[in-house]
Amino acid sequence: MEAQPDIKRSLLKPLLALFLFTVIGGMFAWPIFSTNGEISARSKLILFFLIFGRLAWQTYKRTFRFRDYFIYFAVFIGFCIWLDSYADA
């Protein structure tokens, strides 16, 4: 039986996706100035760094899947919008 050659996937798409998450997620995680702004900013930044770390680890291990990326992105954006709606109240 012959050995199958390993298929090397390009890292360009996952790195661009990680950069896009960093830019857009960073804008959503930016602290807002209200009475609860400090607490919400910490919560958003913690979630941002956890998701960024997970996506970076998947990119490093070459197990990056866009399905996971879109789920993490939607959860993060939804969490930020939800938290900002309560922080402004």
Interval 18-45: pLDDT, tens: 999 999 998 888 776 555 577 888 889 9
- Per-residue pLDDT at 62 exceeds 80: yes
Q: State residue 16's pLDDT score.
A: 95
Cα-Cα end-to-end distance for the chain: 67
- Per-residue pLDDT at 10 exceeds 90: no
Question: In angstroms, rounded to a whole number, what is the distance separating the alpha carbons of residues 71 and 89?
Answer: 28
Question: In angstroms, rounded to a whole number, what is the distance separating the alpha carbons of residues 18 and 16?
Answer: 5
Residue 3 has phi, psi (to 5 degrees) of -75, 135
The mean pLDDT of the chain is 85
Q: Give this prediction's pTM.
A: 0.81
Percent of residues, the chain, with pLDDT higher than 70: 82
Q: Within a domain: residue 8?
A: no
Q: Within a domain: residue 11?
A: no
Q: Within a domain: residue 22?
A: no
Query: What total number of domains does the chain contain?
Result: 1
Under 8 Å between Cβ of 48 and 26: yes
Under 8 Å between Cβ of 32 and 88: yes
